[in-house]
Amino acid sequence: MNALLIYPECPDTFWSFKYALKFVSKKASLPPLGLLTIGAMLPKKWNKKLVDMNVSELKDKDIAWADMVFISSMIVQKDSAQRVINICKAQGKIIVAGGPVFTAQHEKFKGVDHFVLNEAEVSLPLFLKDLRKGKPKHIYSSKERPDITKTPVPLWSLINFNDYATMPVQYSRGCPFNCEFCDIIIMNGRIPRTKTPEQLLNELQSLYDAGWRKSVFIVDDNFIGNKTNVKKMLPLLVKWQKEHKYPFILMTEASVNLADDDELMRMMSAANFYKVFLGFETPDANSLKECGKIQNIKGDVVEAVKAIHQHGMQVMGGFIVGFDSDTENIFETQIKFIQKIGVVTAMVGMLVAVPQTRLWNRLRSEGRLKGEASGQNTDGSLNFVPRMGKEKLIEGYKRLLSTIYSPKNYYKRVNALIKNYRPTARGKIPREEFIAFIRSMWRIGVLSKERIYYWRLILKTSIRKIKALPTAVELSIYRQHFEKIVNRLLAV
C-alpha cells in the first residue's frame, strides 16, 4: 500500500510568520505533527510519503504514486483541503480525512471516502481493521479519550528538517477550563491527559538523534493543565537537557495562573523554556465572566507577566474583542492594557464562533450565527451578529491593530520586555540566528522606515542587557510580518 499524507495549504495568518521566516530561510514554522503521528500509526510495511503544501507543491506524480490519500486539516485550511480532495478524487484515489475541521463539520466536505474522526488512537485502528477485512465504513468516530501513553513517536523521516523553523512535540491533551469560545474541550476534553516523562524524553531523544538542534514547541492545549504530572516530569527534562548540553529551547501554551507558581516557573526556566503563550483575552471583567474565563479575573496581570519575564520566559498573548459585554470603549481599553502589560507578540482577534463550541451553540439558538468560521480571527471576518454592530466592531478592531503594531508602540513594548526580562536560555545560538541578525541590519536597519527604532533598541540592548539581544533582534523581525498582516486587514 502506498499511502500519501497531505497537509493542505495554510493562508498567511498572524501565526504563520511567513514574512519573518525569510530572515532564517525557512519555508514554514512547524511541520504537521498530526500526520507525522498518523504516519507512525499506519502499518510498517506500507510505503509512506508526506506532502506539506506549505513547503512544497502537490504534484500529479505524487498523487499517481498513491493507493490511498490521507488528509488532515484545521478549519483555516478548509478551502485548500476541499481543493486537494477534488484533485485527488479526479485521479480516482481513495480519500481518508481526519483532524479538527473534519471532526467539527465533516458533512461540509464532498468526495471523502472515509472519515476518521476524533482522536486517531481510537478511530484509526477501527478503520484499519475494517480495511484489512475489505469492508471499511464511511465514518469512524468515538467519544472515548485514549490513553496517550500509547501514542507512538512521530515519524520524523517523512519531513526535511531544513524546511522548518521549529519542531512540535506533544506532552498532554485537554484543558481543565471551559471557556465558551474554545473548542479544546470538544476535541480533547477537560481532563488533561499526559504522556509519561520517559515517553516525552524518548520523543526529544528521537529529534536529537535525527539531528535537530533548535527550538521545540510543546503544542499542548495547556501545558500546566495537570501541574502534578508536569512537576514530576520537569526535573527529568532538566536532567536530559543538561546531559545533552541544552540542544533545545522550548516554548509552549499555558494559562495565566502559571505566574502564581514560583516553583513551576523556576523548573520551566531550568528546563530551557524561553517562550509561553497565554490567553489574556480581555481586561474587562464582565467579558471574562461572560466567556467563562474566571481564572483570569483574579490577580494582577501586569505583575504576572513581569514575574514570567523575570524567569526568562517571554510572554506571548491572545486577546479578543467582540464579546457581548464589550462596549465601544473596549478598543482603547485593550490598547492601554496591551501596552501596560508589555506583551509584544499580541495576537488580537475578533471573537469567532467555532463549530460545536458553547458559543457557537448559544449564538445559533439566538439566531445570531451567520455563515462559517474562517478558522482565523485576524482576517476581519465575522460569522455572527455582534451586539455592538458589525461596522463598529470591525472599524474599532482595525484601529486597535494599527495602533499596537505601529513602530512607536511596538518598540515601546519591546523595550518594556527587555527591561524586565532575565534571559536564562542555554545552549548554542543557531547559525540561522546570526544570519537573521545580519539580514535584519540591512532590511530593517537600512531599508525600513522604522530603522531609528531598530537601532535604538539594538544599541540599548547591546549596552545594557547583551543576553537579551537575540530576543530584541527576533522581535524586530517579527514586526515585519505583523505589519504585513495588519496592512492587509486594513485594506479589506
Full DSSP string of 359-418: HHHHHHHTT-B-S---S-SSSS--SB--TT-HHHHHHHHHHHHHHHTSHHHHHHHHHHHH
> Per 3-state DSSP, what percentage of the chain is helix, strand, and coil (rounded to 5)?
50, 15, 35
What SS3 state is found at 304? helix
Kindly give the interhelix angle for 407-420 and 469-491, rounded to the nearest 10 degrees.
150
With beta carbons less than 8 A apart as the criterion, state whether 156 and 210 touch.
yes
Q: Which of 357, 351, 409 is nearest to 382 (CA)?
A: 351
C-alpha span between 9 and 52 (Å, rounded): 8
Kindly state the greatest CA–CA separation across the chain: 69
What pLDDT is attached to residue 430? 87
What pLDDT is attached to residue 116? 98
Mean pLDDT of 342-357: 95
> Cα 285 vs. chain centroid, distance in angstroms?
26
What pLDDT is attached to residue 375? 82
C-alpha span between 376 and 74 (Å, rounded): 10
Q: Is the dihedral of CA 156, 157, 162, 163 positive or negative?
A: negative
What pLDDT is attached to residue 435? 95
Q: What is the mean pLDDT of the chain?
A: 96
Residues 211-235 pLDDT 10s: 999 999 999 999 999 999 999 999 9
Is the pLDDT at 397 greater than 90, yes or no? Answer: yes
Is the pLDDT at 170 greater than 80, yes or no? Answer: yes
If one counts every other C-beta atom within 10 angstroms of the C-beta of residue 248, the result is: 25
Contacts of 352 (CB under 8 A, 6+ apart): 181, 373, 374, 377, 383
C-alpha span between 390 and 400 (Å, rounded): 15
What pLDDT is attached to residue 402? 97
What pLDDT is attached to residue 380? 83
Residues 264-318 pLDDT 10s: 999 999 999 999 999 999 999 999 999 999 889 988 999 999 999 999 999 999 9
pLDDT range class, residue 379, cuts 50, 70, 90: confident
Beta pairing, strands 172-173 & 193-194: antiparallel
Radius of gyration of the chain (CA): 22
Residues 243-271 pLDDT 10s: 999 999 999 999 999 999 999 999 999 99
C-alpha span between 436 and 440 (Å, rounded): 6
C-alpha span between 131 and 70 (Å, rounded): 14
Is the pLDDT at 377 greater than 80, yes or no? Answer: no
What SS3 state is found at 115? strand
What SS3 state is found at 48? strand
Contacts of 43 (CB under 8 A, 6+ apart): 1, 128
What pLDDT is attached to residue 376? 80
Give the containing element (helix H, strand E) for 217. Answer: strand 215-218
Is the pLDDT at 99 greater than 80, yes or no? Answer: yes
What pLDDT is attached to residue 121? 97
Cell of 150: 500509547
Mean pLDDT of 162-167: 98
**The pTM of the whole model exceeds 0.75:** yes
What pLDDT is attached to residue 428? 87
What pLDDT is attached to residue 29? 97
Q: Which of 125, 73, 76 is nearest to 95 (CA)?
A: 73
| Exposure b/e, 448-482, CB count within 10 A at least 16 = b | bebeebbeebbeebeeebeebbbbbbbbbbbbbbb
Helices (H), 196-261: 197-209, 227-243
Q: Which of 6, 12, 8, 136 is nearest to 486 (CA)?
A: 12
What pLDDT is attached to residue 371? 86
